[in-house]
């Protein structure tokens, strides 16, 4: 399967919101429609510059990566740092390489913004996410299991 990775288009907003909800209750905000509209208007989420990347095939969106620019991230010595804020692949697309393609595109975007490092985090009990990060070359940097990767 070939997936195309592109920045979020307005018509992708409902699929992005639905996939975000699939990540779990902590990813659902009170007014996701307002957050989506704000992102489309300003390019920011929680006042941080962001890009939302969508992976799609002929059937439609199959995953997303939300990437921010942070001034600091655990284990990183440069600034700004590209930060993988959210990452999701639909169940039917898992294992196809789309997750890696999203992270590669996210890192490329961060590099274009002047970042030399790329970081992420995962909950300690989210063994699937921990394994996926490590498989892609991230290295754990502290007990809260944050990750970094050079660009």
Q: Encode the chain (151 residues) as per-residue pLDDT tens digits.
A: 788 999 999 999 999 989 988 887 666 567 778 888 888 999 888 888 899 999 998 889 999 999 999 999 999 999 999 999 999 999 999 999 999 999 999 999 999 999 999 999 988 888 988 999 999 999 999 866 678 899 9
Q: Tell me what pLDDT residue 144 has.
A: 64
Q: Six-digit token pair at 101?
A: 């393609």
Q: What is the CATH number of the domain that holds 80?
A: 3.40.630.30
- 15-48: b (≥16 Cβ within 10 Å) or e: bbbebbeeeeeeeeeeebeebbeebeeeeebeeb
3-state SS assignment for residue 41: helix
Question: Which of 57, 64, 46, 45 has its CA nearest to residue 7?
Answer: 64
3-state SS assignment for residue 100: helix
Return d(Cα 149, Cα 73) in angstroms, integer. Answer: 11
Question: Which of 98, 139, 81, 148 has its CA nearest to residue 120?
Answer: 148
Return d(Cα 73, Cα 120) in angstroms, integer. Answer: 8
Question: Which of 31, 32, 33, 70 has its CA nearest to residue 49?
Answer: 70
Domain interval for residue 78: 4-150
Number of domains forming the structure of the chain: 1
Q: Six-digit token pair at 69?
A: 């620019």
Q: Tell me what pLDDT residue 93 has.
A: 92
Return d(Cα 82, Cα 73) in angstroms, integer. Answer: 9
């Amino acid at each position: 399967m070939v997936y195309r990775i592109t920045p979020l288009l307005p018509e992708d907003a409902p699929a992005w919101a639905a996939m975000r909800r699939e990540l779990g209750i902590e990813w659902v905000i009170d007014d996701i429609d307002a957050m989506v509209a704000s992102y489309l208007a300003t390019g920011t989420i929680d006042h941080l510059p962001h890009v939302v990347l969508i992976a799609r095939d002929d059937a439609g969106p199959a995953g997303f990566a939300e990437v921010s620019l942070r001034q600091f991230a655990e284990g990183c010595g440069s600034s700004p740092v590209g930060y993988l804020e959210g990452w999701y692949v639909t169940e039917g697309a898992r294992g196809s390489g789309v997750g890696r393609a999203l992270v590669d595109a996210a890192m490329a975007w961060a590099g274009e913004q002047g970042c030399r490092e790329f970081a992420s985090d995962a909950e300690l009990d989210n063994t699937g996410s921990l394994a996926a990060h490590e498989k892609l070359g991230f290295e754990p940097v502290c007990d809260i299991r944050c990750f970094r990767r050079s660009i």
